[in-house]
Amino acid sequence: MASSNAAAAQVTKQTFPGVKHGEQPGLEDVAGLIKAGQAKRVIVMAGAGISTSAGIPDFRSPETGLYANLEKYSLPFPEAIFDIDYFVEQPEAFYALAKELYPGNFKPTPTHYFFRLLHEKKVLKSVFTQNIDTLERIAGLDEELIIEAHGSFAEAECLECKKVYTKESIKPQIERGEVVYCTEPYCQGNDGALVKPKIVFFGEGLPKQFFDRISDFSTCDLLIVLGTSLSVQPFASLVHRVPSTCPRLLLNLESVGEVETARTRFFSSASEAEGFDFDGVTKRKEGIRDVRFLGSTDEGVRKLCRELGWEEELDELMERQNKLLDEERRKEKEIKAEKGDEASSAKVEKVEEEVKPEEKQQEVIKAVVDKVEEDKSVDKSVDKLAEGVDRVKLDGAEGEAEAAPSSPPKATL
């Protein structure tokens, strides 16, 4: 923003949010709001980018994402691994992915711990996440604060009788790479009685909780958006739900969700420009309220914590929680060793090793790709799926709802 610390402090205290045009607010201004007690109902919107430093690949990156790596294989389309029809016909590919992504295989990142720190500072209202990895929970964040827009691995459900399974109860089968079937007498022997983690697949509606908690945005006084392309609806449209005076912070590798400049200039109306406006192109009479930091989310979070004087607390929180996680894994390893489950025990030991995130991501992708290749000779559903591609809604819901409709919007991952 301004070159001198005095000027930055003046903007923080007097004009942000609402910096005059020609200025650009920064992380120091956002920190100033929090320190001044003007941000007490913070809402976080998080995407796959916050988990890549943990070793989990995102879905949509052009070269390194899961979909890009699956594109050349025998799936009818890369996203089929999360298509409900394909899952019913050929569940092996998804379970290969589940084995690699299952809770316990990864540790939370500094960004996940930042969410918990916001809660401990009593300024966090809720975290809306697109991620299915449950790393917010593993970081110790109160589950009541987490809205998993696309579901997660936290629970699973039989597609036939709807019996709910905990993630722990099906973990042994998942770790062995097995397809999980319902154990209820009514369902035994029924190939359709698959137990599917409560992840929102293409063709399924979003969780009721998502719609129930949209009202949180009406009282938000600071919105933080991290690690997302903002390309998936209805999640992406949530940035417009906050009050017009609410400051919004984007921490991302690239700028996303910006106003359509030409259209905005034509209409010259702030109401026509609901996207981020970092440069004041909309000439809002209230001034500039949007801030961006381009870089990794972990880097952005650390810089914000530094401005707040929280960095040491963040490190202490990470160290404390990671020690608890390490102890849990040590006990899990001992139990599995006693049972003679050497493969699973070795997997737990591997998690404890220091492995580069990029290497972990490639391990996940390779495991899924290998399974897809293995299943080529026994593919039971490619033709059926290819015929049905047109009826599979891949782009999410059109429009929004205040409450869950009778036919909820479809989601993409």
| CA separation for the pair 318, 316 (Å, rounded) | 5
C-alpha pair distances (Å), 324 with each of 109, 110, 119, 299, 333: 15, 16, 19, 24, 14
- pLDDT exceeds 50 at position 139: yes
Same domain, 40 and 86: yes
- For the chain, what is the domain count? 2
* Residue 178 structural domain: 155-199
The response to whether 74 counts as a known ligand-binding position is: no
- pLDDT exceeds 90 at position 1: no
Which one of 21, 112, 119, 150 is the catalytic residue? 150
| CA separation for the pair 138, 301 (Å, rounded) | 18
Same domain, 164 and 290: no
Q: Is residue 32 part of a domain?
A: yes
At a CB cut-off of 8 Å and minimum separation 6, what does 327 contact? none
* Percent share of the chain, pLDDT over 70: 69
Over residues 50-71, the mean pLDDT reads 69
Other CB atoms within 10 A of residue 56 CB: 23
Instruction: Identify which has the larger pLDDT, 153 or 71.
Output: 153
Same domain, 215 and 105: yes
Kindly report the CATH number assigned to the domain that includes residue 370: 3.40.50.1220
Q: Is the dihedral of CA 143, 149, 154, 160 positive or negative?
A: positive
Same domain, 45 and 162: no
Q: Is residue 90 part of a domain?
A: yes
Q: Is residue 96 part of a domain?
A: yes
Over residues 155-166, the mean pLDDT reads 95
Q: What is the pLDDT of residue 6?
A: 42
The response to whether 131 counts as a known ligand-binding position is: yes
Same domain, 66 and 81: yes
| CA separation for the pair 65, 227 (Å, rounded) | 14
Q: What tens digit of pLDDT does each residue of 262-273 get?
A: 444 444 444 445
The response to whether 228 counts as a known ligand-binding position is: yes
125 touches 41 (CB < 8 A): yes
Other CB atoms within 10 A of residue 195 CB: 23
Over residues 110-120, the mean pLDDT reads 98
Instruction: Identify which has the larger pLDDT, 404 or 317.
Output: 317
Same domain, 217 and 101: yes
The response to whether 58 counts as a known ligand-binding position is: yes
The response to whether 48 counts as a known ligand-binding position is: yes
Same domain, 139 and 174: no
Same domain, 160 and 217: no
150 is a catalytic site residue:
yes
Same domain, 288 and 358: yes
Q: Is residue 68 part of a domain?
A: yes
Q: Hunting for tokens 């999980």 — which residue is that?
A: 180
Same domain, 51 and 165: no
> How many alpha carbons lie under 13 Å from residue 169 in its C-beta half-sphere?
16
Same domain, 169 and 144: no
34 touches 17 (CB < 8 A): no
| CA separation for the pair 114, 119 (Å, rounded) | 9
Instruction: Identify which has the larger pLDDT, 258 or 265.
Output: 258
Can you list the positions of beta strands (E) in 239-279? Answer: 248-252
Same domain, 174 and 139: no
The response to whether 158 counts as a known ligand-binding position is: yes
Secondary structure class of 82 (helix, strand, coil): helix
